Structure 1
């Protein structure tokens, strides 16, 4: 299985880089993992709605360049469906069984995801109605993907 994380922005904090590296290393047993970082656009203070849409659109165009036709795209979005860890594990397993072995998870920038990326999504996933820093969300997502593989392989970890 191929998992691609397409994310907006770079990770600057060492503790987040360390966690990302740890989960990336753990996931090598289960899948091929690629992490793609696209540039985040500067958001001026007191940006207008029009400016925010332009920023999301530009970030969205950068994201879409990395989405291939054969990818099953799961976008992290507040309005998406909330799943338990077991349900996410089943989703990943079910996609593999159906032949969708190229999964792209997309994490947008601080303003969210453009409508163009949302329209390309095959699935919208929400971790909570709360807003999380997109850098931290990368760690949380990788941990949940790892947990999902452990669940699918019947290995201890998820309790």
Structure 2
């Protein structure tokens, strides 16, 4: 299975080792590709809607024609077990793509085009922290699918 994650911006050094921790552990379950796209612009120069639309275009260019699951604060709330079932369903198709919004969130364009929208929490996270949480949940999902214990 191939899992692609699209994230605007880049990863801060202080989170790199944590992200690498999950990338390493996920290798036995799936081929993982994280694509960092360009941010939409500077709030001091542009309005937020323009920035969100530019980020959406950058994300859609990176996705191509693939269906994607959007991480969205206003998306569906799922448990880890439900998330694991999503992975298992898409594993049969061979590919799964996730999109994380940038510092300002996501545009309506992305919301409209998403195959599914899920929320990681009612809390708001930075896009970098959302990536780390998503990786952990993907790893947990595979452990659930394989009936393996999960203790870290």
Length-normalised TM-score, structure 1: 0.89
- The CA deviation at 1:158 is 6.2
- 2:73 is the counterpart of 1:74: no
**Alpha-carbon deviation of 1:44?**
2.4
TM-score (norm 2): 0.93
- Aligned residue among 32, 55, 77 for 1:59: 55
Structure 2 CA distance for aligned equivalents of residues 81 and 158 of structure 1: 26
In the TM superposition, what is the alpha-carbon distance from 1:72 to its structure 2 partner? 3.0
1:86-128 CA-to-partner distances (Å, cap 9, x unmatched) read 110011102223x2x2111100111111222222210001011
2-side partners of 1:41 and 1:55: how far apart? 4
Of 108, 116, 123 in structure 1, the residue corresponding to residue 116 of structure 2 is: 123
Helix, strand or coil for the counterpart of 1:37?
Answer: strand
**1:110 aligns to 2:103 (yes or no):** yes
Structure 1 segments (4+ residues) deviating >4 Å? none
Shift of 1:133: 1.0
Corresponding residue of 1:4: 4
Distance 1:11 1:91 in 2: 26
The count of corresponding residues between Structure 1 and Structure 2 is 152
SS in 2 for 1:29: coil
Uncovered stretches (5+) of structure 1, i.e. residues with no partner = none
